[in-house]
Chains A and B, each alone.
Chain A
């Protein structure tokens, strides 16, 4: 079956630093790889600054998908705010990280406050 959604980040060029994003299997919402398991608060997301860490995180994501915890994990290139919080570089990833732009009362932006 052909892919019927746009998997992966669309950022071109240098892809680091990065975080790992996925959809939670049960709830369907966006989750981020944390130091230990998954978090819904992107400010806590584990950040890969080098390729080796990124590869390890990706492998961990694949493992979680195989274990039926998450769906479609992928690395998301980010920039860091002054507080050191990761913010996705591509507008599509930002939408997932925050929530719908037309409903600021929904999604992660509603649960955790403004995300940069």
Chain B
């Protein structure tokens, strides 16, 4: 893992001290709310429906057991005993008090954590594939790139007041697990024909009220030119992005209105004017960062574990857990695991302080002290020896962390929605809970297979509904909560936006509608096709037809009841 150097440490401590005095000035009345708000947002502090909310950065989703234990302490002492992992691989506390924020930030700084770049119109926390460095299908580890971008973007003087927020994601694998096509900049590590390392660069992806798939503006950029090229993109955006209208201020709108070709030309022009070598990181710095992400000292193990194989034969629960949540590791004898934060009926992404403490111990015992956060609001243990899996499973189970549903219909992304969020137009979590209860049966989940459902409680799309195989968007209609359903969205390398099935429906009808959609899939499915593959082959029409009849049945039932 990356360790702070003196500069990082001083920078974070200074920011805490600054914000401490800003809070004091707010409390003594020297700062009005209008003056204070942009300052608190720059430090990840929001004011939500019931309380303040503090969003803590987890750079590229990587965290140590020690850090998680500190989060548990904060949850217990300053919040209500739990935290919430977000779709940006960050963590939110839902109940901190303004007066306690400096103490919380001090505790975070003690473990090299902070809330910088989690809000405001700056370059936000860079996200990455949660299986970085361990995935069998990875060509290169994206974490050194993400860390380089973190260092470069932190308080970059030119880019602290962008037209709007700016999100970068990186992947080093063929299969995109970081949703790079729906980020402002998506970076994919690749090699050119000569075998040299570099990046494919996409710009202008995003969700929100105007969803867009990113456009590739550079097929191949030599690896050592990254910062100068990203700086060129940022300069074009900073100069030309629309500051007149918040809803049109993201770079995706600029790319869309300018046209990808013209936007590319402007970036290339800007890039030609920049003095690359003065911007790009020196080689020794790149090597210094990369050294932190060097592969750990793996043990030399046989590819298959006799211990695990025989335990799997004896314990059906363990077998199912490994089958569903296990992930192929590049190192023989090792396996990575998705640890689901989606128990049926739970709040997607929530973790209690007790679970955090227990999981910190587990990560230290079984995964070299490291864990990851996924954008699907789950956790990952990246370095598990196959021989250790039976013991690991027993411990996870004891703490309610062994739900074998990674990627299945109950592994639902849901934003906090109207239960917490000041922006929300409708509830999101209870919808996820009801769907999960409807599909709780393990055999049924397995039969349905991979099916990412994503729910947002407003048009801002924190729940990524546009790229859900089934997407659900909660809005307000006629003084009631109303839910629009889409299908066919995909956040991977085959990125696509979902298509609406029909009119919005009541929240209580959503689980039934999802069942109707799933039945349609099972009826249309050929061979081992996943839901999204079937939708791609047959199109949305059979689903629309079935949805329309569902809506009609429901309205007849309602009329009859009246």
Contact = CB atoms under 8 A, between A and B. Distances in A.
Contacts of A1: 34, 37-38
Interface stretch (A5-13, A42-50, A53-61, A79-87): A5-13
A26 B97 contact: yes
B37 A10 contact: no
Contacts of A103: 419
Contact of B97 (A28, A30, A92): A28
A103 B429 CA distance: 11
A65 interface: yes
A26 B98 contact: yes
Interface in A62-76: 65-68, 71-72
A2 B246 contact: yes
Contacts of A28: 47-48, 50-52, 96-98
B476 interface: yes
Given A1-B37, A23-B47, A101 B29 contact: no
B98 A100 contact: no
Most buried by B among A23, A67, A99, A107: A23
Given A25-B27, A26-B98, A67-B29, A99 B50 contact: yes
B433 A102 contact: yes
Nearest to B418: A95
Contacts of B420: 100
A76 to B, nearest CB: 13
Nearest to A68: B29
Given A29-B51, A102-B430, A71 B33 contact: yes
Contacts of A25: 26-27, 33, 98
A99 to B, nearest CB: 6
Contacts of A35: none
A100 B479 contact: no
B441 to A, nearest CB: 23
A95 B418 CA distance: 8
A102 B38 contact: no
A65 B33 contact: yes
B27 A68 contact: yes
Contacts of B433: 102
Contact of B51 (A5, A27, A91): A27
B290 to A, nearest CB: 38
Contacts of B50: 28-30, 96, 99-100, 106-107
Interface residues of B, number: 38
Given A4-B423, A71-B47, A91 B481 contact: yes
A73 B216 CA distance: 46
Given A5-B423, A65-B33, A71-B33, A106 B95 contact: yes
A12 B479 contact: yes
Contacts of B103: none
Interface string B418-438: 111011110101100100000
Given A25-B27, A28-B97, A67-B29, A102 B419 contact: yes
Interface residues on A, range: 20 to 34
Interface in B89-148: 95-99
A26 B99 contact: yes
Nearest to A110: B80
Contacts of B476: 10
Interface string A85-116: 00000111001100111110011000000000
Nearest to B421: A5
A103 B481 CA distance: 19
A41 B26 CA distance: 26
Contacts of B48: 28
B99 A100 contact: no
Contacts of B33: 25, 65, 68, 71-72
Nearest to A5: B422
A106 to B, nearest CB: 6
A97 B253 CA distance: 38
A2 to B, nearest CB: 4
B207 interface: no
B347 interface: yes
A1 B479 CA distance: 28
B274 interface: no
B364 to A, nearest CB: 30
Nearest to A10: B476
B418 A91 contact: yes
Interface in B346-384: 347
A71 to B, nearest CB: 5
B49 interface: yes
B452 to A, nearest CB: 21
A44 B38 CA distance: 34
A27 B97 contact: yes
Contacts of A12: 479
B429 A26 contact: no
A92 B480 CA distance: 10
Given A25-B98, A30-B50, A106 B80 contact: yes
A67 B28 CA distance: 10
18 contacts: A1-B37, A5-B422, A28-B48, A28-B52, A28-B98, A29-B50, A30-B49, A68-B29, A68-B33, A71-B33, A91-B480, A91-B481, A96-B49, A96-B50, A101-B430, A102-B433, A106-B80, A106-B95
Given A96-B49, A106-B50, 7 more contacts: A1-B37, A4-B423, A10-B476, A10-B479, A28-B48, A28-B51, A100-B419
